[in-house]
Amino acid sequence: MSTPEDIARLRQLKESEPLQKAWDEWTKTKKSLEDLKPLLSDSDPSMRALAAEEHEALDGTLTQLLQSTFPSLLVPPSTTASLSALVELKSGAGGTESSLFLADLLRMYMRFASANSFRATVVAENENEAGGTKDAIVEIKGEGAYDAFRWESGVHRVQRVPSTDAAGRVHTSTATVIVLPLLEEKDVQKEDLFRMEDVKIEVMRARGAGGQHVNKTESAVRLTHIPSGITVSMQDERSQHQNKRRAFQVLSARLMDQKITREIAERRATRNSLVKSADRSEKIRTYNYAQERVTDHRIGMSIMNLTSVMEGDALQDFVDALKKDHEETLMEEMLNDQCD
Amino acid sequence: MRLPLRELKWLRKAAADANRPLDALVRRRQQGEPLQYIIGTQPFGPLELSVRPPILIPRPETEHWVIELAARIPESARHLLDLGTGSGCIPLLLAHLCPALSAHAVDVNPAAVTLATENAARCSVTRFRAFQANFLDPDFHVHAMLCPPYDVLTSNPPYIPWNEYLELPDEVKNYEDPRALFGGPSGLEFYHAIARLAVRERFLSSDAIIALEVGHDQAEAVGAIFESVSLRTEAWTDPWGKKRTIIAYRGT
């Protein structure tokens, strides 16, 4: 059996692995360069040419290590690396078309999650009677799920001719995505996010005499966290117990999200940092169907293959680019700290 | 009858899970059959129980008080008896939540005994035995399968009085066993029998806890029945604001 200390040591070992790998590559390349030097002045011209070619390649490797590998290792390990995610989707402006788009986004995230070996479950979903999905909550389980999804938070805008528009006019609609950090049930207590006595638990709908008199399924539950005013309603499960569990999961995720946001704000305040914080009402991405184009407005990146993005494949390119952008911002912050 | 979207969603899932045609399930629901019987299961706390007609479908009120009770059962308690067990929901959830408990469950209907036994296997609760018996029988306390004294006595006995029985929704009356619902003319018959058992010599341990579900307006009457045999009682309220559970204590 492994002890908690063993696990901590193993984690440390695993976390330092990229460092070791980069250093090994650096020393190996340096050594190869040293070994190559005498050959550069070899008497055989073809040998000299070969050596020069090799020299250039090794030089390129060193530059790559210096310019991107080493700096990326400076980025402090993410404090949220182990967290799963809860993704909330809410339709916005645009009526039924917004709900139809939300269903497309939901499908995109489900596919993206499974491509990344995360376990995705729709835990709440309100269908729109006229088509599509009004709102949904998806649980994405797996290490790194939060870090992969977190940059999806914000307003997503779609421009297309809705399948419901007979006249064929282009509509603009929006859907809002909120990505929350999801803790394991056993870790919720450790984080001390709320006190039980601060949470009001209510059941919804009257049940008349109740008990043996009624066998209708009435399982809807609403939680109110009094200090923060956060309310969570859950009615997708067939038992109160399950809905309560789900509702507490959402409440914990929202409170954890507030905690992380608060910590970032505090850190930034002490650093007097000018880095803009993520605003959830900000329009982050536009999906233009007519032009097969998806643009992320934060990093000014466009992908000219909307179909692939919606299939969850090219979404990876956005996620990678946003992660890189975030890391570069972190590095800039670190450098600024050094200058102060 | 148009089904609520949520019920439709649950039926759709049930159809997909068991490879059954959805329209047949929807039709049964439209004809008034309880959703739980059509799907064939009902979650109860962390457990998922099989349900089938005519055995009483576990109710959310019961789920609520049983979870509360689990937190109040002392760790020293070892033996539990559930009277009129139906699907076995009460003793199975308590045995699941309190690992020191082993449970006996009785029901007058052999079909309930079979279902409860099946549910024990389904939920991997091994400290459980259900058997057929009628606890209204004057000789019930000497039934060979019993092994008193018990530390916990639970029951959700039939408690619907005659006049209210006639008014029950079809969904209940046409599908669930009257033997699980009808509590005699006053609705209180079974509580009298349980009170007699509770004070019988050596049937319960000296610090036993008794938990009984009651109908929407019966808490006072049932409390009085147990106080008349010198037990201490309290009433617990369900999430809908009804006094739903009478807790009686043998100790002081």
Whether A163 and A113 map to the same domain: the answer is yes
Contact across the interface for A235 and B6, Cβ inside 8 Å: yes
Whether A147 and A162 map to the same domain: the answer is yes
Contact across the interface for A211 and B59, Cβ inside 8 Å: yes
Question: Does a structural domain hold residue A275?
Answer: no
- A198 with A231: CB under 8 angstroms? no
- A115 with A313: CB under 8 angstroms? yes
Question: Does a structural domain hold residue A279?
Answer: no
Fold assignment, B52-249: Rossmann fold (3.40.50)
**Domain boundary at A44, A74, A104, which?**
A74
**Domain boundary at A219, A240, A270, which?**
A270
Residue among B57, B216, B238 with most chain A CBs within 10 A, to mutate: B216
pLDDT digits (tens, 9 = 90+) for B27-85: 999 999 999 999 999 999 999 999 999 999 999 999 999 999 999 999 999 999 999 99
The model's confidence at residue B164, banded by pLDDT at 50, 70 and 90, is very high
- A89 with A73: CB under 8 angstroms? no
Question: Does a structural domain hold residue A114?
Answer: yes
Question: Does a structural domain hold residue A151?
Answer: yes
- Secondary structure of B89-148 in HEC code, one letter for each residue: HHHHHHHHHCCCCEEEEEECCHHHHHHHHHHHHHCCCCCEEEEECCCCCCCHHHCCCCCC
Which residues does chain B have within 8 Å of residue A236's beta carbon, measured at their own beta carbons?
Answer: 6, 9
> What is the three-class DSSP state of A210?
coil
Contact across the interface for A239 and B44, Cβ inside 8 Å: yes
Q: Could you say which of B39, B67, B244 has the minimum Cβ distance to residue A211?
A: B244
Count of the separate structural domains present in chain A: 3
Contact across the interface for A236 and B6, Cβ inside 8 Å: yes
Q: How far away is chain A from the Cα of B11, in angstroms, using its nearest Cα? A: 11
Q: Which residues from A are below 8 Å from B when comparing CB atoms?
A: 125, 127, 129, 201-203, 206-207, 209-219, 235-242
Which residues does chain B have within 8 Å of residue A247's beta carbon, measured at their own beta carbons?
Answer: none
Would you state the structure tokens that stand for residue A243, as one six-digit string?
A: 């809905």
Q: Please report the pLDDT score of residue A8 as a whole number.
A: 83
Question: Does a structural domain hold residue A327?
Answer: yes
Q: What CA–CA distance (Å, rounded) separates B60 from B58?
A: 7
Which residues does chain A have within 8 Å of residue B97's beta carbon, measured at their own beta carbons?
Answer: none
Q: Could you say which of A125, A215, A237 has the minimum Cβ distance to residue B57?
A: A215
CATH number at A214 reads 3.30.160.20
- The type of residue at B195 is A
Q: Could you say which of A125, A215, A240 has the minimum Cβ distance to residue B63?
A: A240
CATH number at A92 reads 3.30.70.1660
Q: How far away is chain A from the Cα of B144, in angstroms, using its nearest Cα? A: 30
Would you state the structure tokens that stand for residue B134, as one six-digit string?
A: 């009628």
Which residues does chain A have within 8 Å of residue B181's beta carbon, measured at their own beta carbons?
Answer: 212
Q: Which domain holds residue A48?
A: 4-74
Contact across the interface for A239 and B45, Cβ inside 8 Å: yes
The DSSP line for A160-200 is: E--TT-TT---EEEEEEEEEEEE--HHHHHHHT---GGGEE
Whether A243 and A198 map to the same domain: the answer is yes
Whether A96 and A154 map to the same domain: the answer is yes
Whether A173 and A225 map to the same domain: the answer is no
Q: Could you say which of B9, B171, B216 has the minimum Cβ distance to residue A210?
A: B216
Q: What CA–CA distance (Å, rounded) separates B245 from A29?
A: 76
Question: Does a structural domain hold residue A98?
Answer: yes
**CA distances (Å), origin B214, targets B66, B70, B161, B185:** 13, 18, 12, 15
pLDDT digits (tens, 9 = 90+) for B100-141: 999 999 999 999 999 999 999 999 999 999 999 999 999 999
Whether A139 and A115 map to the same domain: the answer is yes
Q: Could you say which of B10, B64, B172 has the minimum Cβ distance to residue A213?
A: B172
**CA distances (Å), origin B10, targets A241, A267, B7, B35, B49:** 17, 46, 5, 9, 16
Nearest CA in chain B to A206: B240
Which residues does chain B have within 8 Å of residue A246's beta carbon, measured at their own beta carbons?
Answer: none
Question: Does a structural domain hold residue A278?
Answer: no
Contact across the interface for A210 and B57, Cβ inside 8 Å: no
Whether A125 and A254 map to the same domain: the answer is no
Contact across the interface for A212 and B6, Cβ inside 8 Å: no
Whether A44 and A167 map to the same domain: the answer is no
Would you state the structure tokens that stand for residue B10, as one six-digit string?
A: 């649950």
The DSSP line for chain B is: -PPPHHHHHHHHHHHHHHT--HHHHHHHHHTT--HHHHH-EEEETTEEEE--TTSPPPPHHHHHHHHHHHHHS-TT--EEEEES-TTSHHHHHHHHH-TT-EEEEEESSHHHHHHHHHHHHHTT--SEEEEE--TTSTTGGG-TT--PPEEEEEE----B-HHHHTTS-HHHHTTS-HHHHB--TTS-HHHHHHHHHHTSTTTEEEEEEEEEE--TT-HHHHHHHHHTTT-EEEEEE-TTS-EEEEEEES--
Structure ipTM: 0.93
Contact across the interface for B64 and A240, Cβ inside 8 Å: yes
Which residues does chain A have within 8 Å of residue B7's beta carbon, measured at their own beta carbons?
Answer: 217
Contact across the interface for A210 and B67, Cβ inside 8 Å: no
Contact across the interface for A239 and B67, Cβ inside 8 Å: no
**∠ Cα A70 A73 A76 (to 5°):** 145
Whether A165 and A306 map to the same domain: the answer is yes
Which residues does chain A have within 8 Å of residue B44's beta carbon, measured at their own beta carbons?
Answer: 239, 241
Q: Could you say which of B67, B160, B239 has the minimum Cβ distance to residue A203?
A: B239
Closest among A299, A298, A280, A285 to A108, alpha carbons compared: A285
Q: Go through chain B and tell me how many residues it has.
A: 252
Which residues does chain B have within 8 Å of residue A209's beta carbon, measured at their own beta carbons?
Answer: 164, 215-216, 242
Question: Does a structural domain hold residue A38?
Answer: yes
Would you state the structure tokens that stand for residue A226, as one six-digit string?
A: 């009094």
Write out chain A's pLDDT in tens, 340 residues: 677 788 888 888 887 888 889 899 999 999 998 998 888 888 888 888 888 899 999 999 999 888 878 877 877 778 888 899 999 999 988 889 999 999 999 999 999 999 999 999 999 999 888 889 999 999 999 999 999 999 999 999 999 998 888 888 899 999 999 999 998 877 777 778 899 999 999 997 778 899 999 999 889 999 999 999 999 999 999 999 999 999 999 999 999 999 988 888 887 776 655 555 556 778 999 999 999 999 999 999 999 999 999 999 999 999 999 998 988 888 887 777 766 5
